[in-house]
C-alpha cells in the first residue's frame, strides 16, 4: 500500500511538473493579453474559460486514445519518447531565452484572431494552450502509467494544471502589472531549465530501451 501511494505520488508530481512547464501559462499570458485587448474584461474571462475547457477536452482525449494511436500507426513508445524529448528540449531552450510561445500559432492564425470574435477554441485553446508539446507529453504520460489507477492520476493532473492556467489567463493583465516583465522572464527561464532536464531524461529512457535488447 505504501509503495502504491509513493508510486502514484511521484507520478502525480511528474505529470504536474511536465504539463505545467510545457503549457507555460506564465509565458503565454502576455500573448493572450495582446490577443484579447480589444475585448471587455467579461469577454476576456469567457475566452479564458472556453479556451481552458477546449484544451482540457483535447488533452483528456489524447490521454485516453494515446495507446490506440500508437497501435494504429505502429509507433513504439521508445520512438515517441525520443521524439518528445527532442521537442521538449527545443521548447525548453526557447523558454530559457524567455521567448513567448508565438511559434505555437501560425501568422494566419494570429491574423484570424484579430478578425474573429470567437478565438477561444482556436488559436487560444488549440494550439496556444494545448500545443504539440502538451499533447505529446499527455500521450507519453498515458503510455507510462505505472498502474491502471494512474490514468485517474493523469486526468487529475491535467485538470489541476488547466484550472491553474485558467486562473492565470483570466488575470493575465493583473499578473503582468504585479510581477512585471523581469520577474515573469525569470520564472519562465526556471521553467525552461526544468523542461530541459525532463527532455534529456525522456531521450535517455527511450535510447536505453532501444539499446538494452541489443546488448543482451
Q: Is 20 a residue whose pLDDT tops 90?
A: yes
Q: Is 156 a residue whose pLDDT tops 90?
A: yes
The residue ranges of every structural domain in the chain are 2-215
Element (H, E) at 60: helix 41-73
**Span 171-203, pLDDT tens digits:** 887 887 888 878 878 888 888 899 999 999 999
Q: Can you tell me the mean pLDDT for 41-54?
A: 90
Q: Which long-range contacts (CB under 8 A, 24 or more apart) does 209-212 make?
A: 209/77, 209/78, 209/81, 210/78
* Residue 146: pLDDT band with limits 50, 70, 90: confident
Q: Can you tell me the mean pLDDT for 39-67?
A: 91
* Nearest-angstrom CA–CA distance, 155 and 138: 9
Q: What is the pLDDT of residue 106?
A: 59
**Span 101-125, pLDDT tens digits:** 544 555 655 555 544 447 899 888 9
Amino acid at each position: 500500500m505504501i509503495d502504491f501511494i509513493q508510486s502514484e505520488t511521484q507520478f502525480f508530481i511528474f505529470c504536474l511538473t511536465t504539463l505545467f512547464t510545457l503549457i507555460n501559462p506564465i509565458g503565454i499570458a502576455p500573448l493572450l493579453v495582446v490577443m484579447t485587448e480589444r475585448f471587455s474584461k467579461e469577454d476576456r474571462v469567457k475566452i479564458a474559460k472556453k479556451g481552458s475547457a477546449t484544451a482540457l477536452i483535447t488533452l483528456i482525449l489524447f490521454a485516453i486514445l494515446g495507446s490506440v494511436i500508437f497501435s494504429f500507426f505502429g509507433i513504439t513508445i521508445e520512438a515517441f519518447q525520443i521524439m518528445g524529448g527532442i521537442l521538449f528540449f527545443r521548447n525548453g531552450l526557447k523558454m530559457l531565452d524567455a521567448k513567448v510561445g508565438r511559434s505555437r500559432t501560425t501568422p494566419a492564425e494570429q491574423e484570424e484572431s484579430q478578425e474573429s470574435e470567437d478565438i477561444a477554441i482556436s488559436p487560444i485553446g488549440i494550439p496556444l494552450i494545448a500545443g504539440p508539446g502538451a499533447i505529446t507529453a499527455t500521450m507519453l504520460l498515458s503510455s507510462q502509467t505505472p498502474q491502471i489507477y494512474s490514468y485517474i492520476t493523469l486526468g487529475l493532473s491535467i485538470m489541476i494544471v488547466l484550472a491553474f492556467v485558467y486562473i492565470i489567463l483570466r488575470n493575465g493583465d493583473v499578473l503582468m502589472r504585479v510581477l512585471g516583465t523581469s520577474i515573469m522572464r525569470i520564472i519562465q527561464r526556471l521553467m525552461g531549465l526544468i523542461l530541459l532536464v525532463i527532455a534529456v531524461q525522456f531521450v535517455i529512457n527511450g535510447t536505453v530501451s532501444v539499446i538494452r535488447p541489443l546488448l543482451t
